[in-house]
Amino acid sequence: MLLVIDSGNTNIVFAVYDGEKAMGEWRSSTRSDCTADEYGVWLTQLMQLKGLNPQDISAAVMASVVPANVFALKTLCRTYFHTEPLVIGEPGVRLDLQIMLDRPEEVGADRLVNAIAAHTRYKGSLVVIDFGTATTFDVVDRQGNYHGGCICPGINLSLEALHMAAAQLPRVAVGRPLSVIGKATVPAMKSGVYWGYVGLIEGLVSRISKEFGEPMTVVATGGLAPLFAEATDVIHHLDSDLTLRGLVEIYRRNITEEKLKRA
């Protein structure tokens, strides 16, 4: 079985796949001071509660946008699962896509993984929206090449900044308000952030499509994607497991390539 690790700025997602089938998925808050042993004890216990044997893990693949976490996660794979992880972005890792950027080395591993997963599953030119700590819009052409995109403050980050910067504005939770016009401070804040974000999504997708010169299929992923997909027609597909499936696909490509070299 394959251990898949998606290390983001807010959460780390661990999953176990048997072929294309997800056998279990768990989340941990991202902490740069968390050790391999802490991850190991936590993860192996959760796997066993799910009926999975940690000794059945035979390979691992990971992507991280937090460099400080990479060493601990590599050590986790080596110590507790006796496997050397395939790390996206390291030399020799095959992605099979062209990065059409001025500085391709700067693009986050998670954005490339999402691009690969989306192109594998959906047809035509794509906009992939990932609702994470930052909200990213990534453009993928019909051949699967990555053309860059936009990076915006995530919705929770926007709410926190509003609370921190304005003395009289409270901390509020994200949610779809019943009306656009708020009749009090909290409803007004919720409306401004939520419907403002819907406007951001619709506006950026429209401008991206116009600039790219053709209609785009829009795929949304990330924890808050369902909340915004219900409010706009510009999002065509919800895909909560996009990043994990992209990591599985990258692992498959690299293992296939290694087998061909040995043949």
Which amino acid is it at 165? A
Q: Is the CB of residue 69 less than 8 Å from the CB of residue 7?
A: yes
- Which residues are CB-contacts of 91 (< 8 A; sequence separation ≥ 6)? none
Nearest to 125 by CA among 201, 202, 206, 215: 215
For 224-233, write each residue's pLDDT tens digit: 899 999 999 9
Q: Which residues are annotated as a binding site for substrate?
A: 108-111, 185
Give the pairing of strands 146-153 and 134-140. Answer: antiparallel
Instruction: Look at residue 159 in the predicted model and tell me its pLDDT.
Output: 78
Q: Where are the domains of the chain?
A: 2-87, 104-245
**Is it true that 2-87 and 104-245 share their CATH fold?**
yes
Structure tokens, 71: 């060493």
Assign domain 2-87 to a CATH class.
Answer: alpha beta
Distances (CA, A) of 144 to 89, 111, 173: 18, 13, 37
CATH number for the region 104-245 comes to 3.30.420.40
Q: Which residues are annotated as a binding site?
A: 6-13, 108-111, 130, 133, 185
Among candidate residues 110, 138, 141, 239, the one labeled active-site is 110
Nearest to 122 by CA among 140, 98, 95: 140
Q: Categorise residue 206: left if φ over 0, alpha if ψ from -120 to 50, beta otherwise.
A: alpha
Query: 3-class SS at 35?
Result: coil
Q: Is 239 a catalytic residue?
A: no
For the chain, give the mean pLDDT: 90
- Highest mean pLDDT among 103-107, 165-169, 184-188, 207-211 belongs to 207-211
Nearest to 238 by CA among 222, 252, 249: 222
pTM of the model: 0.87
Phi and psi dihedrals of 21, rounded to 5?
-95, 125
Residue with tokens 């995109």: 149
Distance CA 76, CA 78 (A): 6
For 252-261, write each residue's pLDDT tens digit: 999 865 554 5
Q: Which residues are annotated as a binding site for ATP?
A: 6-13, 133
